[in-house]
Structure formats: structure tokens, C-alpha cells
């Protein structure tokens, strides 16, 4: 009871020092008295609860919380396990999953990239570096296409900005390395990834096409 009394006194003192100037300002007067009919709400104490007496009796005398916990344990015990025994079992991957990068080719074997450098310009992590040269027919081609995978944040902006679908993010998630240098991809590495994951990427793109 002493603790409750001190808390009430403290809240009352705080209300008088904080609320009183605000109420006086809104009332437009400088009087020190409270507005007519003003009543401070009684502060709630820690032992007060909205729970009814019957509910309290059930919880204390019938051990409802203990039986509720046992019910949850039994429910989880007979439920099918969620564990996937990776790498022998693998979960489903969304068609929109953004994994390892790759450069694609046309069915004729020609590289799709036209060296527009939109992917390099839009990359927020500045992970892409492109250098181009002019071909004999006047068109451009990339002789350097590097991606620093340690900087990449897998936002997918490079894939979205490419006008010819040259740079894509494949469904591959298993490309961990032992050294940092192995995560510095050059053009040859990206083209080999494209040749390897072309069919899987086409399947994912076709599955996602109705929603784009």
C-alpha cells in the first residue's frame, strides 16, 4: 500500500506540473486554479486486471496455463517435421529468386550484351564495371564485364534495366567460395554461368511472366 500511495502522489505531482500550464493556456487565462469539474483519472495499479473472477479462479485452481502448455507440446509432437535435410533435400525456390549472376546468349551463340552500360549506371552498390570496344560493323561489344559479388546487394536493378535480357540473376544459390578472389566474376565466368543455367532461368521467367 505504501508503494501504491507513493506512485499516486508522484503521478498527481506530475499532472499538476505538466498538465496545469497546458490547460491554463488553452483556457486563455492565467489563473492557478483547475477548470471547473476537472478530475484527474485514478492511476491504475499493478495488481489491477480486466480479467474476471471466474477466469482467475480457473487459472489458479484448475492449472489452466499448465494444461495449455502441455497441449501445445503434444500438438507440436504429432505435427509433421519442418526440418529439411540439406543438401540431400532442398526447399522450393520462388521464380523471382535472385541468385548468382549470368550473361546470356542468343540461340545462335551471339552475346546478348550491347554495352549500353545501363546496369553499371543503375547499380546502387557500384559492383559492375564494363568496358566496351567497337566492332568491325560499327556495333559495340564488351571486352570487360566484371561483377564484384562481395559488393552486390541482389536488388535486381541490373536485370530490370537491361533492354536485351543479357544480365540476369539465376536460381543458383550454391556458389560459396573459399577465397574472396573467386567472387570477382569476369565476363568468361558470367557467360559460363549463362550457358549452365539458361534452361532453369527460362523456366523461372516463364513462371513469373503472368505477374509482370
Q: Kindly report, residue by residue over 100-123, the tens digit of the pLDDT.
A: 999 999 999 999 999 999 999 999
In a domain, 11, yes or no: no
Q: Does residue 10 register a pLDDT over 70?
A: no
105 plus 206 within the same structural domain: yes
Q: Per residue in 158-168, pLDDT tens?
A: 999 999 999 99
Give whichever of 31-35, 60-64, 132-136, 160-164 has the largest mean pLDDT. Answer: 160-164
What is the pLDDT of the chain when averaged over all its residues? 83
pLDDT at residue 188 is higher than 60: yes
The per-residue pLDDT for 2 is: 42
Report the C-alpha gap between 39 and 203 in whole angstroms. 70
In a domain, 92, yes or no: no
What are the tens digits of pLDDT across the range 120-156?
Answer: 999 999 999 999 998 888 888 899 999 999 999 999 9
pLDDT above 60 (res 21): no
pTM of the predicted model as reported, rounded to 2 decimal places: 0.62
75 and 106 assigned to the same domain:
no
Is 67 in the same domain as 123? no
Give me 68's grid cell: 495449455
Residue 109 lies inside a defined structural domain of this protein: yes
Q: How many domains does the chain contain in total?
A: 2
Domain extent, residue 66, equals 52-82
Q: What is the largest CA-CA distance in the chain?
A: 94
- CA distance linking residue 53 with residue 51, whole number of Å: 7
What CA–CA distance (Å, rounded) separates 97 from 204?
9
Look at residue 6 in the predicted model and tell me its pLDDT.
45
Count Cβ atoms within 10 A of the Cβ of residue 127 and give its class: 0-12 exposed, 13-18 middle, 19 or more buried. Answer: buried
- Asked if the structure places residue 185 within a domain, the reply is yes
Amino acid at each position: 500500500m505504501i508503494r501504491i500511495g507513493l506512485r499516486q502522489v508522484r503521478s498527481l505531482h506530475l499532472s499538476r506540473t505538466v498538465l496545469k500550464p497546458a490547460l491554463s493556456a488553452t483556457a486563455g487565462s492565467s489563473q492557478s486554479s483547475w477548470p471547473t469539474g476537472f478530475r484527474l483519472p485514478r492511476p491504475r495499479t499493478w495488481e489491477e486486471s480486466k480479467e474476471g473472477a471466474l477466469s482467475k479462479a480457473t487459472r489458479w485452481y484448475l492449472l489452466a496455463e499448465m494444461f495449455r502448455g502441455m497441449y501445445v507440446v503434444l500438438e507440436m509432437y504429432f505435427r509433421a517435421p519442418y526440418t529439411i535435410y540439406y543438401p540431400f533435400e532442398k526447399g522450393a525456390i520462388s521464380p523471382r529468386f535472385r541468385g548468382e549472376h549470368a550473361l546470356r546468349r542468343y540461340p545462335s551463340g551471339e552475346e546478348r550484351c550491347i554495352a549500353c552500360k545501363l546496369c553499371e549506371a543503375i547499380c546502387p552498390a557500384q559492383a559492375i564495371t564494363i568496358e566496351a570496344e567497337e566492332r568491325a560493323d560499327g556495333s559495340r561489344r564488351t571486352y570487360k564485364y566484371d561483377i564484384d559479388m562481395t559488393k552486390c546487394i541482389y536488388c535486381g536493378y541490373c536485370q530490370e534495366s537491361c533492354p536485351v535480357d543479357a544480365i540476369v540473376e539465376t536460381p543458383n544459390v550454391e556458389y560459396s567460395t573459399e577465397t574472396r578472389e573467386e567472387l570477382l566474376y569476369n565476363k568468361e565466368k558470367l557467360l559460363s554461368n549463362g550457358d549452365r543455367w539458361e534452361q532453369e532461368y527460362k523456366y523461372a521467367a516463364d513462371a513469373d511472366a503472368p505477374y509482370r
